[in-house]
Amino acid sequence: MKPRQNEQESSVPLLILGGGCAGLSLAYRLARSRRSPRTIIIEPRQTYSDDRTWCGWALTPHPFSDLVAARWKSWWIHTDRGSQHVTGSPWPYEMLHSAAFYERTLAAIDASHEIALWRGQRVSALEDHTDGVQVTLESGQRIHARHVVDTLPRPERLVAPWAWQDFAGLEIEAEAIDDTSPPDLMDFRVATRDQLDFIYRLPHAPGRALFEWTRFGRPASNPHTLRQALIEHLDTRLPEGYRILREEMGSLPMAPPAATSHGNRVVAGAYAGSMRAATGYAFHAIQRWADDCNAALLAGKPPCPPRRRPWLERLDRVYMTAIGQHPDEAPEFYRQLFARVPATSVVRFLAGVPHWRDTLAIMRSLPSGPFLRAAWHSTFPLPTQGDSS
Ligand SMILES: Cc1cc2nc3c(=O)[nH]c(=O)nc-3n(C[C@H](O)[C@H](O)[C@H](O)COP(=O)(O)OP(=O)(O)OC[C@H]3O[C@@H](n4cnc5c(N)ncnc54)[C@H](O)[C@@H]3O)c2cc1C
């Protein structure tokens, strides 16, 4: 029977904190099984909106493939020094509207007899016990759970960010948008000597595209400033005018997680190992984790955290250090990467599941001077006065 929301004290085998991408991805898989443990999901939102688009490469199948709004077999990287049309990836770049994901996952949870989504509720405290975890909500309600999957979006769970990826996106409609042209994954022609900025353009339907202005930097930038820069860019680029259909913004800390799972509490989601520190991609890694975690739970085992690859995290750190030290050269690092290395290897690398040969090819493609210096600095960092971020 579905756990009821109005009880002051509840007890369940599984509690999921946060009903966002990770929490709902796991709950959706459990809801489709007849063997799901009784589960409560705690989520502050009352209603869900189309608040983000998830893009990336699906190297393995996921249960939302049929909801994908657009797929592209090739894409562009532009810098002041040239443009690279990237072809030959066996995996297309795909884009999914969060609204479609929320609709499907919420309907499955609604239909489940074992899983309940408690909306309008916020976690305020967690207490570890020998037989589970006691969770207190802001409403004062207490839930005892044998296992907790904690997907709360807590940036403080990451090590001090190496950089921030701040962005503002506008989904627009304009006659001049040609949806048969490949997208621009990174158009660095808007970058300056000090600001590593790029435009991301995804023409996904006739006359429609998602444009984003993204900045890699430290300290974080205000996404509202980037929105203004994007508006000015679009005003010049589309002088005949355009209509804004939807907006999204984000400020993603780029660093690996410091928090780890312990006892009966597993941390998961973007701030617990599923977000790639050098790229900000998380959606497909979350799907891989949700598959693993669902399989463990249905086998009667405890939930599992996302798989970590410490050597990849170290490489990301070197990459981000090199970019931070040479923001003016960084656009060329990206273009050269796509120009010199086969798309199959770069995509596997960006998706977070490279073979060792991919990693070697990528290391060989990058200029040795800046990257050796970055490797040295990231191994023996210099203390920075007053830098507490
Ligand atoms: C605008 C935007 C665009 C993005 N685009 C991409 C992309 O194209 N590709 C990609 O791979 N990644 C992308 N990401 C990164 C990442 O995939 C998303 O952030 C993804 O939603 C992370 O999933 P999550 O479950 O970890 O966090 P969320 O989806 O943010 O879920 C966390 C949930 O916890 C809830 N919560 C917060 N506080 C509490 C509390 N006290 N108690 C209970 N619940 C709480 C929140 O309401 C939320 O529902 C994007 C991120 C943003 C913000």
Cis preceding linkage at 63, omega within 30: no
For the CA of 22, the nearest atom of ligand 1:
25
In this structure, is residue 385 part of a structural domain?
no
Question: Cα(134) to centroid of ligand 1, in Å?
Answer: 24
Q: What is the pLDDT of residue 1?
A: 79
- Looking up tokens 């996952």, which residue turns up? 105
346 with 233, same domain: the answer is: no
In this structure, is residue 16 part of a structural domain?
yes
237 with 371, same domain: the answer is: no
Q: What is the DSSP letter of 381?
A: P
Question: Cα(54) to centroid of ligand 1, in Å?
Answer: 10
Q: What is the DSSP letter of 158?
A: B
329 with 367, same domain: the answer is: yes
In this structure, is residue 83 part of a structural domain?
no
Q: For all residues of the chain together, what is the average pLDDT?
A: 92
For the CA of 269, the nearest atom of ligand 1:
26
Yes or no: say if 127 and 133 are a contact pair by the CB < 8 Å rule: yes
Nearest to 58 by CA among 254, 287, 268, 212: 287
- Looking up tokens 């405290």, which residue turns up? 125
Tens of pLDDT along 292-309? 999 999 999 999 999 988
Amino acid sitting at position 49: S
Residues 279, 284, 289, 292: what is their CA dihedral angle, to the nearest 10 degrees?
-150
111 with 234, same domain: the answer is: no
196 with 122, same domain: the answer is: no
Say if residue 311 is exposed, middle or buried (CB neighbours under 10 Å; 0-12, 13-18, 19+): exposed
Q: What is the pLDDT of residue 381?
A: 58
Yes or no: say if 145 and 15 are a contact pair by the CB < 8 Å rule: yes
Alpha helix positions (H), 76-198 = 98-111
Integer Cα distance of 296 and 308 in angstroms: 17
124 with 13, same domain: the answer is: yes
- Whole-angstrom CA distances from 220 to 121, 241, 382 are 29, 31, 21
Say if residue 118 is exposed, middle or buried (CB neighbours under 10 Å; 0-12, 13-18, 19+): buried
Decide: 283 in ligand 1 pocket, CB within 6 A.
yes
Beta bridge partners of 119: 43
For the CA of 249, the nearest atom of ligand 1:
1
Question: Cα(220) to centroid of ligand 1, in Å?
Answer: 18
Write out residues in the chain with pLDDT < 70, as ranges.
259, 378-389
Residue 335 — φ and ψ, nearest 5°? -65, -40
145 with 270, same domain: the answer is: yes
Integer Cα distance of 48 and 154 in angstroms: 20
Decide: 44 in ligand 1 pocket, CB within 6 A.
yes
In this structure, is residue 240 part of a structural domain?
yes
Decide: 287 in ligand 1 pocket, CB within 6 A.
no
Going by alpha carbons, the residue nearest to atom 10 of ligand 1 is 281
Q: What is the pLDDT of residue 385?
A: 41
Integer Cα distance of 40 and 136 in angstroms: 13
126 with 274, same domain: the answer is: yes
167 with 188, same domain: the answer is: yes
Number of domains making up the chain:
3
Give the H or E element holding residue 142: strand 142-150
- Whole-angstrom CA distances from 288 to 22, 296, 353 are 10, 13, 11
Tens of pLDDT along 352-388? 999 999 989 988 888 777 777 777 776 655 544 434 3
Decide: 17 in ligand 1 pocket, CB within 6 A.
yes
Q: What is the pLDDT of residue 135?
A: 97
For the CA of 152, the nearest atom of ligand 1:
34
In this structure, is residue 81 part of a structural domain?
no
37 with 128, same domain: the answer is: yes
Range of the domain at 148: 9-51+96-158+257-298
Integer Cα distance of 154 and 259 in angstroms: 10
Which of 222, 254, 286 terminates a domain? The answer is 254
170 with 249, same domain: the answer is: yes
Yes or no: say if 143 and 39 are a contact pair by the CB < 8 Å rule: no
Tens of pLDDT along 239-268? 999 999 999 999 998 888 886 778 899 999
Q: What is the pLDDT of residue 387?
A: 40
In this structure, is residue 4 part of a structural domain?
no
In this structure, is residue 85 part of a structural domain?
no
206 with 333, same domain: the answer is: no
In this structure, is residue 71 part of a structural domain?
no
